[in-house]
Structures are given as structure tokens and as C-alpha cells.
Amino acid sequence: MAELVTLTIDGKQITAEKGTLVIEAAKKIGIEIPAFCYYEGYSLQAACRMCLVEVEKMPKLQPGCTLPAAEGMVVMTDSPKVVEARKSTLEFLLTNHPLDCPVCDKGGECELQDMVFRYGAGESRFTEIKHHANEKQWSPMVYYDPARCILCYRCIRVCDEGLGVGALGLTHRGVHAEITPSNGDHLECDECGMCIDICPVGALTSGSYRYKSRPWEMNHVGTICAHCSNGCKTTLSIRNGEIMRANNRDQSGINGEFLCAKGRFGYDFVHSEERLQTPLVRKDGELVEASWSEALALVAKKFGDVKAKGGKFGVVGSARTTNEEAYYLQKFARQGLGTANIDHRRSGDVASLLNALAGKRDALATVADLYTTKAALVIGSDLSQQHPLLAFQLRANYRHHGSSTYTVTRGPVREDSYAARSIRFEAGDEIGALDQLREDLSKHASVVILFGDSVKGGDVAKLVAFGDSLGVGVKYVCLMDYSNSRGAWDMGLTHEYGPGYEAAEQRGLSLPEMLAAKDLDVFWAVGANPLADAELGSNDAFVVVQELFLTETARRADVVLPAASAYEKNGTVTNTCGEVQRLKAGAKVMGVKTDLEIMGLLAKEMGLDLGIWTPEKVFEEIRRTVRGYNVQLPIIVTGGAAPTQPVSGQLAVLPDVSLVRSAEDTLFTSGSLGRYSKMLNAAMEAPGKLYKE
């Protein structure tokens, strides 16, 4: 237990751990000490002097952001001296500030504006001409306006310490001082935009949002990122149905302050001119526009006919549609169409993990666990590229708690720079490296093991046996690709399992088997693009595709139904750690329908009774019937992340692990979706490479 000290702040007594910063101690009792350069979680800078406080028996005002609390200390945060000092600091900061608030992106949510509003400094004694420097574009994502910069160093620290990128620095002195990017005049970095978010003023602006809107003209909708499997909360700022920006406004998600380039800039696919907005029906060999009712009637009729004559269906779901949609799709296929041929493209072998963890409690790590575990072992993944949030969490854990990270990868990864040990091993052989790590890992009280797609089947069992042999608390993360890769498995979008990993009544065709089958009558792809790198074996199959874009698969379709993206719908998704979170509809795109609505209308048209198809009702059914999903509703509806429980008991059948393969997306790619993001493709770092650092 750390030593405690008692101090007085503005007449209130508070007991805090010795060494606590006065600014933090004050926060605990509801006293805000204004600050610019201080940012919780990053190194101390003491550059701005905004936080000055008066301390009894100390001759000069002290910066509250670096002053450690001491026994008997008496602090005043609003004495006349302090108030005067604050005014002077603000006056000083404003001497060279352009005061272009009316056109500044930050106007209305600017910390400098707020402080001036609060603490005054309406008058300036500075009558000289302001020093001006032109705004610069550093990358398609990041712009810098030196005149607005208050030199707080926040951007430098978040980039260096938070991301481990270190792309920003401060060059020159005095009035000429400014932030400089890694490559002199341009950035080569992760393009995460974290520096933009953390900038207290409008000095760093976003390539997609700058000069587009005022913050108060938009509705802010917190939802879950549509891209990778980490499940960051991203706040969409919506004006008239259009997403104007995505950022981390309230920092209430599992990702805290974090967002990567995809979450922040990769939303633009939503309003891409290539979006499908009308159903398409093949007539005389050509796909032509049709009405929803015509297209749906056609599909329903065909489905009904094929079902009636006992024909062969092939149904492919997506790792990006919601749990409700995945669940409803498999129900539609199994109960409605009477087919067992259903699958999706799997990117991690979570079934083997759940099987190996049978009977264990709390053995699945959450995103939060990565920040608190004493040690982490990363196997077969370039985490900073493939799982940016998880990588950010591990790095923060190392910075704040000195945790140890071990990597076993086929090539260099960013984590190596601070890893306790890094071992190179060919993909698929990584399990062979474990014995070398046993001694190291068993020294730590808690370990989280994260593994990529190269660890599957029997290797997962071996991995868990290895974890057991360490004699310490071990938790696991099975790394997967997309926003609902985990949910797709859980909801039964596989040919071997129904929802909750119950063995499917009848084992149908897997995705490759469907593609190879010569006698498929109907091929139905919901949010999936399996023909991107494969041919459909059956020439006569009637192909129905629900999609955002005219993908390879949609091009082969007989009917294309334009679907809504994740940013246009409600529902839930499950991240790679097995945490369920809520999607909230933000954007509006004319002409599209959610996959759930499309399926619901099809069911109605076919006269099937598959239950009510609102997201809420389907989720209720999932909670009731899918093993592991009896999650707490209040957590979900308040925008939190509810962990699912591993299914208890061994799985009745083992998964087909030959089908597990990650698409190996980087920071700038995102499967078929990424192709339609202009911003992501505009980055000079795109598409990027794994294992190259």
C-alpha cells in the first residue's frame, strides 16, 4: 500500500497517495484546475503554465500538473494571485493566436475558447503584428496550422508514447517554434488522427472534416466501428443524414481515447458514389434497376420454387452484419429454406478455443484486461497493424504498469521495441516456441495470450494446455478480422454449428464446397464477397446478393439488393474478445434497407414465420436462446460492452479448421469495404504491409 498524505485544496481536505499530482487530487474532489499541456496518461510536460496554483509556504505559483501532493500541503486554486496568473497565461497564449474562431473547425469545442470564456483575458496589451505561418497539409488525413498551435506537445506525446510511432516533433524556437512531421514536409505514420483529436485547439485538423461543418449543427451518434474486430466506439457526427466526421467525442467506449485511421477516416465508403441504391435484376443477361417490390417478389418466388422441388441452396453470411442479422440469416436458411448449407469466411478458430476452455470461468480476456494484465503473449499477429486497439492497450499497459509483452511472430512487429522477448517463428509452427517462454511467463501473476489465424485446431488445445501448465491466471483472445467475425461464429453462420455452437442438426456444405458444387440451385450471399477470389461452380445457380457495392459477387448476381452499412443500422456486434456492443444508426442513405429488413420482407413474401424481425426482438431471442449471450441488457443499452460467457461443456463436434484464414488486413485495408474508402486509399502508406517494421 502506497503511503497516504493529507492535503487541503481550497479548504477541502483530501487524502491521496503520496506522489499523486495536485491536479489529479483536485479532480477527485471535483475541483478543476485548468490545463492545456497536461493530459492524463502521457508524460508530464509543464509547458503551458495554465495550471498554476498557489501553495502555502511556497514563494512562487506552482504548476499543479507536475506538483506531487505532500503531507500538510495547502493549495489554493482560485486565489486572486492564481486568477491573475491564469489571465496572463491566456493573454500570452492569445498574443499570437489568429482568433479565427468563426471559421476554425474547433470553434465551439475548443479548450482555448472555453478557458478564455471561463477565466477571462478579454483584453490584450499586444499591439504588434502577429507572426503568421501558412497552414500545411501533412497527409490526406492531417493538416497543421502553426498559427493556431499553442505548443502544448500533446500531439507529440500521443504519437510517440501512445502509438509508438513518434512521427511528430517540435522544431525552431520562440515565435518560430512549430510542430514538424516525420518527413520534414509530410507525414509517414499510422494516419490515426489521434493527434488531431488530442489537440486542444484547431491547430491540427482532419482532412475529411476541415471547414465542412460546425459542431453544433450535427447530431453525434456513438456506434461501433465498421472495420476491424476490435470494436472501438466511434462517434459519427451527422448532418442531414450525412456523416461529416467520425471521432472519439465522448471517449466512453472500450477504446477510451483510441481510434485508428479506419475508425476515424474510413467511414467515407458510406457516401461513396459507388453505393448501390436501387435493387438490380438480371434481364436479358444485364443487371437493370428494379423496384424493391419487384426484386423481393422475384427472390421470394425463386426461393419458394427451389425449396418446393427440394433443390439445393448455398447461403453465405458475413463477418460484418450484426448478430441479429447473422442469427436471422441462419434461421432463415435452416428453418425457412430447410437447408444446412450455410457458412461464412472464418478468420480465427474461436470454436477450438471455446472447446478447450470448457469448464473454465473468466478465461476470455476483454479489451480492458489487456491494460491490466501483468503479461501478454502475442502469437502470429502483427498486432499494431491488424488489431490497432489491442496493440494500443498493451502499449499503454507497458507504459503505465510496466507489464511485459512477449511476441512470437514470423517477422518483426512494432511490439518488439518494448517486448520482454521476441521470437521469430514460421507461421503455423509458433506452438514450438512456447517451451522457451514457459519460465518467463510463469513468473507473472496474470497472462493474456492472443493468437492469430495460424494457431488453430489441435494447436489451440496445446496452447490452452500450455497456459494451464503455467500455474498462473491465463486468459485468451482469439484474433479475428472484422467487426462481427466473432458474432458470425457465435450466431451459427457455419455449416457445422447452429447458434451457440450447438452441433448443427445436419452438417451442410462449407463455403468452398458450395462454390465447388456444380448443382447449386440458389446461391445467396448476404454481405459477403466470396467470388472476389473464387468462381462459382454451378453455372445455373440463381444468385442473390445483399451488398453495399457492385462487388465481384454482386456482378455475378441475378438479383442484387442494396444493403445498409453498419453505420446505418441498429443492432449488436461482438468483438474479437467476445464483448457485445450496440450499433446505433447514424447515417442515412436513400434506397437501401438493412439486411435484417430485407430478410424480414423476404420471409413475409414467402409466408414464412421466423419471428418479428426488429433488431430488439431478434436480440431478445438471441439472449434467450444462444449459449453465452445472456448478457446484461443495461450494459448494452447504455452503450457499454457486455462480455459473453464461453459455452460450458465441450463442443459436440469439432470445427473445420482448414477453413480458417485471416485476410491479413493492414491499418489501411479492410476487405472489400476498404476498397471503397477514398481516404484510406489516399494515404501514401496504403495498403501497407505486415511484419515490416
Partner 1 sequence: MIGNYPTGRQKGALIPMLLYAQDEIGQITEELIDEVSKRLSVNRVEIEEVLGYYTMLHREKRGKHHVQICTNVSCMLRGGEELWEHACGKLGIGNKQTTADGSVSLEEVECIGACSWAPAILVNYDFHFNVTPESLDALIEGLRTKQ
Q: State the SS3 of 246-302.
A: EECCCCCCCCCCCCCHHHHHHHHHHHCCCCCCCCEEEECCEEEECCHHHHHHHHHHH
Alpha-carbon span 173 to 180, nearest angstrom: 12
Joined together, the cell numbers standing for residue 592 give 437501401
Nearest to 264 by CA among 190, 187, 192: 192
Nearest to 497 by CA among 670, 675, 627: 627
Residue closer to ligand SF4 (CB basis): 142 or 363? 142
CB 674 within 8 A of CB 664: no
What is the rounded radius of gyration, in angstroms, for the C-alpha atoms of the chain? Answer: 27
From the list 30-38, 122-130, 250-258, 600-608, the region that binds ligand FES by CB under 6 A is 30-38
DSSP 359-416: T-SS-BPPTTHHHH-SEEEEES--HHHH-HHHHHHHHHHHHHH--EEEEEESS--GGG
- The residue at minimum Cβ distance from ligand SF4 is 263
Joined together, the cell numbers standing for residue 510 give 462449407
Tell me the number of residues near ligand SF4 by CB under 6 A: 42
Residue closer to ligand FES (CB basis): 61 or 306? 61
Residue closer to ligand FES (CB basis): 38 or 668? 38
Q: Establish if 116 lies at the interface with ligand SF4 (CB under 6 A).
A: no
Nearest to 191 by CA among 676, 683, 691: 683
Q: Establish if 201 lies at the interface with ligand SF4 (CB under 6 A).
A: yes
Alpha-carbon span 416 to 407, nearest angstrom: 7
Alpha-carbon span 289 to 282, nearest angstrom: 9
Diameter over CA atoms, the chain: 93
Q: Establish if 430 lies at the interface with ligand SF4 (CB under 6 A).
A: no
| Residue of the chain from 50, 93, 179, 526 that contacts ligand SF4 (CB under 6 A) | 179
Q: Establish if 319 lies at the interface with ligand SF4 (CB under 6 A).
A: no
From the list 154-162, 273-281, 336-344, 674-682, the region that binds ligand SF4 by CB under 6 A is 154-162
Joined together, the cell numbers standing for residue 474 give 491465463
Alpha-carbon span 281 to 154, nearest angstrom: 54
Quick one: DSSP state of residue 209?
Answer: T
Task: Return residues touching partner 1 (CB under 8 A).
Answer: 160, 166-173, 180-184
Pick one of ligand FES, partner 1, ligand SF4, none as the site partner of residue 35 (Cβ within 5 to 8 A by kind): ligand FES
Residue closer to ligand FES (CB basis): 36 or 327? 36
Residue closer to partner 1 (CB basis): 196 or 561? 196
| Residue of the chain from 25, 51, 316, 577 that contacts ligand FES (CB under 6 A) | 51
Report the nearest approach of ligand FES to the CB of residue 31 (Å).
Answer: 15
Question: Amino acid identity, residue 628?
Answer: G
Report the nearest approach of ligand SF4 to the CB of residue 659 (Å).
Answer: 23
Pick one of ligand FES, ligand SF4, partner 1, none as the site partner of residue 180 (Cβ within 5 to 8 A by kind): partner 1
Question: Which residues are 4's β-sheet partners?
Answer: 17
Nearest to 377 by CA among 398, 402, 352, 406: 406
Report the nearest approach of ligand SF4 to the CB of residue 211 (Å).
Answer: 17
| Residue of the chain from 5, 9, 22, 49 that contacts ligand FES (CB under 6 A) | 49
From the list 99-107, 190-198, 215-223, 565-573, the region that binds ligand SF4 by CB under 6 A is 190-198
Report the nearest approach of ligand FES to the CB of residue 174 (Å).
Answer: 18
Residue closer to partner 1 (CB basis): 43 or 171? 171
Q: Which residue has the cell 485547439?
A: 201
Give the pairing type, strands 52-55 and 62-63: antiparallel
CB atoms closer than 10 angstroms to residue 100: 12
CB atoms closer than 10 angstroms to residue 302: 18
Report the nearest approach of ligand FES to the CB of residue 181 (Å).
Answer: 23
Q: Establish if 115 lies at the interface with ligand SF4 (CB under 6 A).
A: no
| Residue of the chain from 51, 116, 194, 270 that contacts ligand SF4 (CB under 6 A) | 194
Q: Establish if 94 lies at the interface with ligand SF4 (CB under 6 A).
A: no
Alpha-carbon span 206 to 105, nearest angstrom: 9
Pick one of ligand FES, partner 1, ligand SF4, none as the site partner of residue 46 (Cβ within 5 to 8 A by kind): ligand FES
Query: Where would I find the beta strands (DSSP E) of 512-591?
Result: 522-526, 542-547, 559-562, 571-574, 579-583
Joined together, the cell numbers standing for residue 498 give 447452429
Site for ligand FES in 58-87 (CB under 6 A): 63, 65
Residue closer to ligand FES (CB basis): 51 or 478? 51
DSSP 169-188: EEES-GGG-EEEETTSSS--
Residue closer to ligand SF4 (CB basis): 452 or 499? 452
Q: Establish if 236 lies at the interface with ligand FES (CB under 6 A).
A: no
Q: Establish if 427 lies at the interface with ligand FES (CB under 6 A).
A: no
Give the pairing type, strands 12-17 and 62-63: unpaired
Q: Establish if 193 lies at the interface with ligand SF4 (CB under 6 A).
A: yes
| Residue of the chain from 140, 164, 388, 527 that contacts ligand SF4 (CB under 6 A) | 388
Residue closer to partner 1 (CB basis): 384 or 484? 384
| Residue of the chain from 35, 110, 464, 601 that contacts ligand FES (CB under 6 A) | 35
Give the pairing type, strands 168-171 and 219-224: unpaired
Residue closer to ligand FES (CB basis): 22 or 390? 22
Q: Establish if 153 lies at the interface with ligand SF4 (CB under 6 A).
A: yes
From the list 33-41, 95-103, 298-306, 352-360, the region that binds ligand FES by CB under 6 A is 33-41
Question: In angstroms, how far is the first alpha carbon of the chain from the final one?
Answer: 40
Q: Establish if 47 lies at the interface with ligand FES (CB under 6 A).
A: yes
Site for ligand SF4 in 511-570 (CB under 6 A): none
Pick one of ligand SF4, ligand FES, partner 1, none as the site partner of residue 227 (Cβ within 5 to 8 A by kind): ligand SF4
Q: Which residues bind ligand FES (CB under 6 A)?
A: 35-38, 46-51, 63, 65
